[in-house]
Homo-oligomer: A and B are copies of this chain.
Amino acid sequence: MPKIETFPNRHPDRDYDIEITCPEFTSLCPKTGQPDFATLRIHYVPDRLCLELKSLKLYLFAYRNQGIFYEHVTNKMLDDLVAAVKPRRMTVEGSFSVRGGISTVVRAAYEARRPRKR
């Protein structure tokens, strides 16, 4: 996977929210090989680092021809982003489009063990 890049948070003394919406995520179904489409939402409170958006775009692009399940892609993305950005809190939500008349949303959250006091 491409490296998720970061830049220094200039306001680390304050808990603040960053919400990122990517309506153009696509991967493949690991069973059928057919394309899946999703809107991803990433919501985090930065600590020392902020997520660099261009590298996020390339990271998401890397899933394009990968077969991966809804539940797994959402949790793996949370793990990868937490590892790179080391946020105080982070949520990743994937809204996957209709398959067989059924749509699915998967939502996973991370909270740092010793959060800074607000």
Contact = CB atoms under 8 A, between A and B. Distances in A.
Chain copies in the assembly? 10
Contact of A107 (B10, B17, B22): B17
Nearest to A14: B108
Interface residues of A, number: 44
Interface string A1-25: 0000000011100111111111110
Given A102-B21, A106-B18, A10 B57 contact: no
B14 A103 contact: no
A53 B14 CA distance: 26
A20 B23 CA distance: 19
A9 to B, nearest CB: 7
A64 B53 CA distance: 22
Interface of A: 9-11, 14-24, 26, 34-35, 37, 46, 50, 53-54, 56-57, 61, 64-65, 71-72, 74-75, 97-109
13 contacts: A14-B75, A16-B107, A18-B104, A18-B105, A20-B103, A21-B102, A24-B37, A53-B99, A54-B100, A64-B64, A98-B98, A98-B101, A99-B101
